[in-house]
Amino acid sequence: MNFLEYNQIPIKEVKLYNEKTIASFITDSDSNFDEKTVKSFGEEWLKFNSFSPKEINVAGSQYFDIIDNKLLNATSVVLDLGCGSGRWTKFVASKVKLVEAIDPSTAIFSAASLNENETNVRITQASVSNIPFDDETFDFVICLGVLHHIPNTQQALIDVVKKIKKGGAILLYLYYNLDNRGILYKMIFRISTVFRLVISKLPHQLKKFCCDCIAVMVYLPLVIVTRGLYKIFGTKNWIKKIPLSYYADKSFNIIRNDALDRFGTPLEQRFSKIDIEKMMQSCGLSELKFSENAPYWHVVGKKING
Ligand SMILES: C[S@@+](CC[C@H](N)C(=O)[O-])C[C@H]1O[C@@H](n2cnc3c(N)ncnc32)[C@H](O)[C@@H]1O
C-alpha cells in the first residue's frame, strides 16, 4: 500500500514489539497539547487495547449513523485524528482506500497492534498542531472524543480542517454541555465532575481502581435497570433519558474503559450544540448534520470552500 508522503522529516522512529517502527513528530514546542492528559490517555489505551469486532461495530455504528456512502467509501483517503486504541480506524479500514491514524500518546502501540492485519492502515505519533501531511489531503477526517481534551479546541479544529480536501468532510464528536438535558441530570453531572477533578490527579493504579469501582457501583446498576426497562417496554424515549442508559448495549469492557475516560482525564471541555455549530462554521465547514442520538454531540460537516 502506498501511504501518503509526510511533509516533514520525523523527529524519531518508535520501535514496536515486532521490530516495525512508527514515525514520531512530537515536538517540545507544542502549545496546544496538555501533557498530563496525553500521558493519562497513553496509560488508558495501553490498558484497554483489545476490542471484539462486536464491541467496535455496536459503538462504531452509533458514531457513524450520520455518515453515508457519498461521504465515506472505497475511494476515501481518511485521517483518524487522536486515534487512541485505533478502534475507529479498524471500524472503517475495510470500507475505505487508506487510513492515516495519528495520536500523540503511547496509545500508538495499541492502535498498531489492533490494526496489525489492516494493510491500508498506518499509525503515526503526532499531535493536531503538527499533522505531518500537506493541507487539503484527506477526503474524510474522523475526530471522535479528542478536541475537548485539547487546551484550544477552536484552534485545533482550524488546524485539522486545513488538512481536508474541498468537498471532504469531518465526523466530529465533542462532549456536550448537557444542553439537551434537564436540571436533575445537570446536577448529577456537576457532582460527578467533582469526583473527576479528584480522581484524575491520583497515581495511575489508584485512579484505575477508583474508576473500576465507579464502573461497578454506579454504571453497572443503572445499565442493568435500563436493560430491564428496554426488555419490558421496548425502545422508548423516556428510557433514553436515564443517566448512562447509553451503555445498555455496551460490554463491561467498554463501560470500564469509559469510566476511566470520564473520571481519569485531567482536561475536558464541554460545548453546546450552538457552540459547536459556530466553531465549525468559523472553520469553513457547512452542511452540518448533528445526530439526534447519543453520544452527544456527534456531527458531520463538509468543507465546501478552501
Ligand atoms: C478519549 S480518547 C479518544 C480516542 C479515539 N478517538 C476513540 O474514540 O476511541 C482522546 C485521544 O485524543 C488524543 N489526544 C490528546 N491530545 C491530543 C492532541 N494534541 N492531538 C491529537 N490527539 C490528542 C489522546 O492521546 C487520546 O488518545
Whether 58 and 147 share a structural domain:
yes
Contact status, residue 33 vs residue 104, Cβ threshold 8 Å: yes
CA angle, corner 157, sides to 30 and 109, nearest 5? 60
Whether 234 and 158 share a structural domain:
no
Q: How confident is the model at residue 50 (pLDDT cuts 50, 70, 90)?
A: confident
Other CB atoms within a 10 A radius of the CB of residue 213 amount to 13
- Is residue 217 in some structural domain? yes
- Is residue 202 in some structural domain? yes
Select from 142, 181, 179 the least CA-distant residue to 160. 142
Whether 258 and 211 share a structural domain:
yes
Alpha-carbon torsion angle 68, 159, 292, 97, nearest 10: 20
Separation of 150 CA from ligand 1 center, angstroms? 9
Could you report the per-residue pLDDT of 201-260, keeping only the tens digit for each? 999 999 999 999 999 999 999 999 999 999 999 989 999 999 999 999 999 999 999 999
Whether 192 and 93 share a structural domain:
no
Whether 39 and 108 share a structural domain:
yes
pTM: 0.93
Rounded Cα distance between 48 and 252, Å, is 12
- Is residue 220 in some structural domain? yes
103 Cβ neighbours under 8 A, 6+ residues apart: 41, 82, 83, 84, 111, 123, 125, 126
Whether 29 and 82 share a structural domain:
yes
Separation of 194 CA from ligand 1 center, angstroms? 22
286 Cβ neighbours under 8 A, 6+ residues apart: 301, 302, 304
Rounded Cα distance between 10 and 31, Å, is 19
Please name the residue whose Cα sits nearest to atom 10 of ligand 1: 146
Could you report the per-residue pLDDT of 7-33, keeping only the tens digit for each? 999 999 999 887 899 999 999 889 899
Could you report the per-residue pLDDT of 145-183, keeping only the tens digit for each? 999 999 999 999 999 999 999 999 999 999 999 999 999
Could you report the per-residue pLDDT of 78-105, keeping only the tens digit for each? 999 999 999 999 999 999 999 999 999 9
Please identify, by atom number, the ligand 1 atom nearest to the C-alpha of residue 85. 9
Whether 146 and 112 share a structural domain:
yes
- Is residue 7 in some structural domain? no
State residue 140's pLDDT score. Answer: 98
Separation of 103 CA from ligand 1 center, angstroms? 6
Rounded Cα distance between 83 and 108, Å, is 8
Q: Whole domain around residue 17: which residue ranges?
A: 12-176+270-303
Q: How confident is the model at residue 1 (pLDDT cuts 50, 70, 90)?
A: confident
Ligand 1 contacts (CB < 6 A) are 33, 37-38, 41, 45, 81-85, 87-88, 103-105, 107, 127-128, 144-146, 149-150, 261
What is the radius of gyration, based on Cα positions, of the chain? 19
- Is residue 1 in some structural domain? no
- Is residue 253 in some structural domain? yes
Distances (CA, A) of 213 to 174, 247, 268, 279, 295: 26, 16, 21, 36, 23
Whether 95 and 46 share a structural domain:
yes
Please identify, by atom number, the ligand 1 atom nearest to the C-alpha of residue 144. 6
Rounded Cα distance between 207 and 210, Å, is 5
Separation of 268 CA from ligand 1 center, angstroms? 11
Please identify, by atom number, the ligand 1 atom nearest to the C-alpha of residue 82. 22
Rounded Cα distance between 304 and 301, Å, is 9
Please identify, by atom number, the ligand 1 atom nearest to the C-alpha of residue 103. 22
Separation of 43 CA from ligand 1 center, angstroms? 12
Separation of 107 CA from ligand 1 center, angstroms? 9
Whether 16 and 31 share a structural domain:
yes
Separation of 82 CA from ligand 1 center, angstroms? 4
Please identify, by atom number, the ligand 1 atom nearest to the C-alpha of residue 173. 8
Distances (CA, A) of 56 to 45, 51, 70, 89: 15, 6, 22, 10
| Number of domains composing the chain | 2
Select from 35, 34, 10 the least CA-distant residue to 24. 10
Residue 52 maps to which CATH number? 3.40.50.150
Please name the residue whose Cα sits nearest to atom 14 of ligand 1: 82
